[in-house]
Amino acid sequence: MKKKMILAALFACGAFGFLRGKEVGVVETMMTLLAEKEILYGNSEIIITHDKRVNAVAITSDSSHVASGSSDNKVKLWNKSTGQVKKIIKHSKPVNSIAMTPDGSYVASASDDKTVKLWGGKDKKKAKTIIKHSKPVKLIAMTPDGNHVVSGSDDNTIKLWNKNNPVKKGKVIIQHDKKITGVAISFDGRFVASSSHDGTVKLWDRKKSTDLEQGLVIIKSPEAVTTVAIADNSKGDIFVVAGGKDGMVKLWNSITKQVKNIIEHDEGDVWSVVITSDGSSVMSAGGLFDEKVKRWDKATGQVEDIIEFKLSGVTLVAIAHDGEYVVAFSSRMVKRWDKATRQVKKIILRDRKKGYAAKRNVHLGAITPDGSYVVSTSGPNNETVKLWEAPPPPYEK
């Protein structure tokens, strides 16, 4: 069975959350955190340097290319084989989000200058503006083939760019009442899901859409929805998962077309969610106060705390080997949970030249699908990007 890549643009909402009571329908959380072990990611080096804060990073499946977008208005691309870094996209205002195809052939960027630009294909000399909004663009997502790019803007709209119709600078496919907080696109580009401060998650279906359609509301929340992810299995079933300021993680599927509360974070917002390609498990990251990554298992219906930080909110959660490894990034360190051993390991990012562990200012990151490489931001103002290589399996050294 062909594995599918989960494509999601994740937005971390920085607002403070409040303590809430249990809600009916949410499975009680099991505490399964075990003693933590350290796993050393060595052979590191600074591969990209920007003049200002890095706001987004991406890495190819084989770690051959790393891309970064910064408040210095630039998108840079690092080539592993040559060791060279080149500026591939230049905006007139800060870059907020980037997306890259698994092979590195296309890179897209979203900016406060209200545009989305695309670099790659036959003409790699100059990036082209493919989408225009009326307000800053905060989020983008792209299909693995680079044929479809979706963007979320402060103008409350989601726009779609289609490679087969490149003349039009983005078609509005979803309209929200308030700002967009998350956008995700299915493997083949047929479905697009979006979340918003208006408390809704909307779904757009290319085969059922009309020019007047503004997206079907599939999830409603009493507070802002801050992040969304989508997955589609081999049968064509769609799974959409979303988290919000109320601390709830909700799951909708195209089979029952019903919404289910699957995870509750007791304190703070939900900042990040990911879902496996078959929809069998969901991972979510609590915000500043919750400091936990939780995992929901479809087969058992149970929720477990798999990663916990101290005095450090979880900024991003990612998966490798389609959920076999769960990696969480915080402002102080990175941790990894292994499904097979049920153990948590601190990923100590050690600089081979200076010989110290980089445990601070790790706000952003990305990991290859096999878990062999991690990319993270570093520096006083997170203006640099580092690549870290994992030891050989079984990673127990």
3-state secondary structure of 164: coil
Arithmetic mean of pLDDT over the chain: 83
Q: How far apart are CA 158 and CA 171, in angstroms?
A: 8
DSSP per-residue letters across 306-327: EEE-SS--EEEEEEEGGGTEEE
Q: How far apart are CA 391 and CA 397, in angstroms?
A: 8
Rounded average pLDDT over 326-340: 85
Is 200:180 a contact under the CB 8 Å cutoff? no
pTM of structure: 0.85
pLDDT at 396 over 60: no
Q: Kindly indicate the confidence band of residue 393, based on its pLDDT and cuts at 50, 70 and 90.
A: low
pLDDT at 167 over 80: no
Q: For residue 216, list its beta bridge partners.
A: 203
Residue 32 confidence (pLDDT):
42
Is 106:142 a contact under the CB 8 Å cutoff? yes
Tens-digit pLDDT profile for residues 224-241 = 999 999 998 888 899 999
By the 10 Å C-beta count (0-12 exposed, 13-18 middle, 19+ buried), 103 is classed as middle
Q: How far apart are CA 42 and CA 166, in angstroms?
A: 43
pLDDT at 16 over 50: no
pLDDT at 359 over 50: no
Q: What is the DSSP code (8-state) at residue 26?
A: P
Domains (range + CATH), the chain: 62-330 (2.130.10.10)
3-state secondary structure of 367: strand
| Higher local confidence (pLDDT), 283 or 171 | 283
Rounded average pLDDT over 274-302: 91
Tens-digit pLDDT profile for residues 83-133 = 999 999 999 999 999 999 999 999 999 999 999 999 997 667 789 999 999
Q: For residue 175, list its beta bridge partners.
A: 157
Peptide bond into 166 cis (omega under 30): no
Residue 397 confidence (pLDDT):
41
pLDDT at 297 over 90: yes
The structure tokens 């029952």 sit at 256
Q: How far apart are CA 311 and CA 34, in angstroms?
A: 19
Residue 21 confidence (pLDDT):
30
Q: Which of 336, 321, 327, 326 lies closest to 369, judged by CA?
A: 321
Tens-digit pLDDT profile for residues 22-46 = 233 333 333 344 445 666 665 668 8
Q: Kindly indicate the confidence band of residue 392, based on its pLDDT and cuts at 50, 70 and 90.
A: low
Q: What is the DSSP code (8-state) at residue 249?
A: E
Is 238:253 a contact under the CB 8 Å cutoff? yes
Residue 168 confidence (pLDDT):
73
Is 73:89 a contact under the CB 8 Å cutoff? no
Residue 38 confidence (pLDDT):
64
Q: What percent of the chain has pLDDT over 90?
A: 57
The structure tokens 């801050």 sit at 226
Instruction: Name the token pair of 377.
Output: 């931001």
Residue 174 confidence (pLDDT):
95
Rounded average pLDDT over 12-16: 29
